[in-house]
Structure 1
Amino acid sequence: MDMETQGKKAMLLKAMGHPIRVEIIELLGKKEMCACEIASLFDCDRTTVSKHLAILKDLGIIEQRREGLYIYYSLKLHCLVPMLQCIEHAIFSDPVEVQFDCECSCSVDNGEI
């Protein structure tokens, strides 16, 4: 067992261990969004949402691009969306099988993971 790899997996799962971050992942799984648009969807201040975005970005889960004064975020690890759907099915004891047939091309290439 490669403990370094297991540690990296644990770090990614830990980053997803907050309801706001899970919601951000699901939102960005649907479309790219401006930071201000993301912040407006939550009942907390923009600084808090910004910290959540930074955690996800630092681990390579999401990525950002700047356009003028605005920062847009998109999901980098698209494979997390079906994983979260599978978890949701398990929570509600839904017998529907979620297929993970995709050849995941996600990569975390920032040295943090």
Structure 2
Amino acid sequence: MNSEDVSIKILKALGHPIRLQIVKSLLSESRCVCDLNRAFDFSQANLSQHLKFLRESGILEYKKTGVEMHYRVKLKNISTLLNAMDQTVEEYFETLDF
């Protein structure tokens, strides 16, 4: 796998609205699955599938504490990437005002 493949894998993982919300919610702290499930209005099965996708893309990692699974962002530069995306979106909307 080359760097372009990894870039595509990461962007694809962040390209889904639910996964993007999950990652943003984990930027400042780790959270257990039970907290994530309460925070988002989708099924446990759906959440599990998205968490698995984010783990497999290398963005998230987890640690089992007792019976709870705690997730956190593994790639610290994801925050930088998301901030750059927010700025890009802002710039995009500014260019629409001709």
TM over 0.5: yes
* Shift of residue 8, structure 1, vs aligned partner: 2.0
Pairing 1:1-113 to 2, within 5 Å after superposition:
4-93=2-91
Amino acid at match of 1:26: K
* Shift of residue 86, structure 1, vs aligned partner: 1.4
Structure 1: which 5+ runs fail to align?
95-113
Amino acid at match of 1:19: P
* Shift of residue 7, structure 1, vs aligned partner: 1.6
Write out per-residue CA displacement over residues 47-105 of structure 1, whole angstroms, 9 at most, x where no aligned residue.
101110001111221100001110000110110112111111221229xxxxxxxxxxx
Give the Cα separation in 1 of the matches to 2:38 and 2:74: 22
Identity among equivalent pairs (%): 29
Structure 2: which 5+ runs fail to align?
93-98
Q: Which of the two has greater helix per residue?
A: 2
Write out per-residue CA displacement over residues 28-52 of structure 1, whole angstroms, 9 at most, x where no aligned residue.
1110100110111111111101110
The CA RMSD measured in Å over matched residues stands at: 1.6
Q: Name the TM-score, length of structure 2 as normaliser.
A: 0.85
Amino acid at match of 2:53: I
**Contact preservation (8 Å) 1:25, 1:81:** no
Give the Cα separation in 2 of the matches to 1:92 and 1:9: 22
